[in-house]
Structure 1
Amino acid sequence: MSDLVAQVSRHLRAVQTLQEMALDAKLLPLIQGVQAWQTLRMQSTHQAQMNNSYTAPAMVFFTEQIYGPKDFSQRDAQIKRVVPKMHRYLPSKALLSLESALRLHALSYELDYVLALELKKHATTANQQLSISHRTDANKRVIINQQTYAAAFVSGHNGHLRQEQISLLQELGNNLSDAVAIKGVAMMLALSKHPARMKGLQTLHLFLQDGYKAFKKIPNSQSFMSEIVSREAHLVASLFTEQVFSQQGTNPLPCIPSVEILLES
């Protein structure tokens, strides 16, 4: 149990360090843009699950609580406050689910940071090669779309971390499935709602409650996770093949609206 608590603290520190680095490098808006585009991408890739009333809450949980551009500083601050005593509030399987979620979020943020750097580098190079002297914001403008995202994704050269990200997604799904099966979890969450609010832990409580409710609705969580993981693994493998950017190849990413970010000077 103490190891899990230590790991939770480590994941929180990792994200905080990356956020401070992003702030210093003025990359936060671009990282948020990456996360916003990725949310649209996941919703498109897994449209069938998004349109299914049983699995949609779990997809929303993943896209909003793990991959999306939401500000998690309040939630993370609340977790930090209770980390030393967390084992008193959560069953071991629930704590394991929380650790899995934070570990996945930390790795995802690291990958988003690298992807944002690549997008900025590619955009700067492209703008310098074009005759766009009439645009004063040329070197600050980054467009995230099917092509630019794919190019930045591949040039990050972190295929092993992408595979780890998918494995962690599978692990989180398994842990959440185990957690919702614990007898009395629903009652525990209901009874702890008021104390959590009184102690200023309502954001953390809402995070745990959303995860529980999302997976409780799924009739067959193993089948659900298998479909999600299979599609994500296929997408990553396709992006890292040489054929993707050849004339014969096709971009496996869905064609969704672009996101435009103006970087700070």
Structure 2
Amino acid sequence: MNQPASAADRIRTHLDRVQQLRLQAQGAGLGAAVNEVKQLQAQRFRATYADLIQDPACAPATRFFLDELYGVRDFAQRDAQFGRIAGALERLFPEAVAQLAVDLAETHALTEVLDHELARQWLSLDPGLSRAHRYTLSWRLADDRPARERQLAVVQHMGLELQRLTRMKPLRLALRMMRNPARAAGLDSLQHFLESGFDAFAALGDARRFLDTISERESRWISTLFDAPPEECSRALAAELARAPGQG
């Protein structure tokens, strides 16, 4: 009987998938399209969660999700650091911390798979289309509803785990004490991610309302992008993009 994969093996599998996608994007000329898709999504997130960003209690957790999970930047350095210490996470930290790292790696891999498929469809469509209409058509051509729902479920689980872990004061103290050793070991990007998550959810307090808000809004957008008439969906998306801070 096969043994279930360890947390370290699952982390490395997800990160290997991300690295393969990076190489494929370079070879297929997809890099610019992936960036366009990510920029549009980041703009939509800024609009959808503008109220949470303005809420002092929710702002750190909101920025953590938008910057560390869905940010428009190169995560290659952080990925490499996670891969290097995947085994050590299992040995040195409680099981819940290792699972948190698995959740991050899975979310990261799902996001990259979805964004790369959107980019492929984006390139197949007329560049003269409006961004909102082109994105709507790309989303439907990608046809990946189960992966979208899985992505949202993993993010919810990660949030609940972060809330639970932030209540373990010895763990938070140990994390802070790792700053200098992490920097010396070249693990500063990973350290920043962990501390950002812990600090954000410690400030949040009860995460349920925050996570329920994300679940409700993202579920609504998933339904709209898959099920609403295309023109209606494009108009709704265009209006949401226009609401993003710094637009208009």
Q: Output the TM-score relative to the length of structure 2.
A: 0.89
Note the aligned Cα RMSD (angstroms): 2.1
1:49, 1:170 → 2: CA distance?
16
Deviation at 1:242, TM superposition (A): 4.3
1:6-62 CA deviation, whole Å, 9 max, x = no partner? 111111101001111111111112212211221111111111111111111111111
Could you list the runs of 5+ residues in structure 1 that have no partner in the other structure?
127-142, 259-265
| Residue in structure 2 matching 1:13, options 13, 16, 22 | 16
1:183-194 correspondence runs (5 A)? 183-194=169-180
1:99-118 correspondence runs (5 A)? 99-118=102-121
Structure 2 vs 1, CA of residues 144 and 104 (structure 1 numbering), >3 Å: closer, same or farther?
Answer: farther
Is the contact made by 2:11 and 2:86 (CA closer than 8 Å) also made in structure 1?
yes
Answer with 1 or 2: which has the greater Rg: 1
Is the contact made by 1:31 and 1:116 (CA closer than 8 Å) also made in structure 2?
yes
1:240, 1:2 → 2: CA distance?
34
Deviation at 1:76, TM superposition (A): 1.1
Is the contact made by 2:159 and 2:211 (CA closer than 8 Å) also made in structure 1?
yes
Residue 169, structure 1, aligned to residue 155, structure 2: yes
Structure 2 vs 1, CA of residues 144 and 30 (structure 1 numbering), >3 Å: closer, same or farther?
Answer: farther
1:27, 1:250 → 2: CA distance?
23
Structure 2 vs 1, CA of residues 255 and 198 (structure 1 numbering), >3 Å: closer, same or farther?
Answer: closer
Tell me what 1:60 maps to. 63
1:1-265 correspondence runs (5 A)? 3-123=6-126, 145-245=131-231, 251-253=235-237, 254-256=240-242
1:34, 1:257 → 2: CA distance?
18
Give the SS at the match of 1:251. Answer: helix
2:97, 2:126 → 1: CA distance?
43
2:234, 2:11 → 1: CA distance?
40
- What amino acid sits opposite 1:85 in the alignment? A
Give the SS at the match of 1:252. Answer: helix
Could you list the runs of 5+ residues in structure 2 that have no partner in the other structure?
none
- What amino acid sits opposite 2:161 in the alignment? N
Deviation at 1:228, TM superposition (A): 0.6
Q: Identity of paired residues, percent?
A: 26
2:5, 2:87 → 1: CA distance?
9
**Is the helix fraction higher in 1 or 2?**
2
Deviation at 1:2, TM superposition (A): 6.5
1:174-232 CA deviation, whole Å, 9 max, x = no partner? 12112212231221111111111111111111111111111111122011100111100
Is the contact made by 1:97 and 1:179 (CA closer than 8 Å) also made in structure 2?
no
Deviation at 1:94, TM superposition (A): 1.8
Give the SS at the match of 1:184. Answer: helix
Which stretch shows the higher mean deviation, 113-122 or 152-161?
152-161
1:257, 1:150 → 2: CA distance?
18
Q: Tell me the matched-pair count.
A: 239
Structure 1: 4+ residue segments shifted above 4 A: none
1:101, 1:199 → 2: CA distance?
21
- What amino acid sits opposite 2:109 in the alignment? A
Which stretch shows the higher mean deviation, 157-166 or 206-215?
157-166
2:89, 2:201 → 1: CA distance?
22
Deviation at 1:144, TM superposition (A): 7.1
Deviation at 1:147, TM superposition (A): 2.0
Is the contact made by 2:43 and 2:241 (CA closer than 8 Å) also made in structure 1?
no
Structure 2 vs 1, CA of residues 250 and 144 (structure 1 numbering), >3 Å: closer, same or farther?
Answer: closer
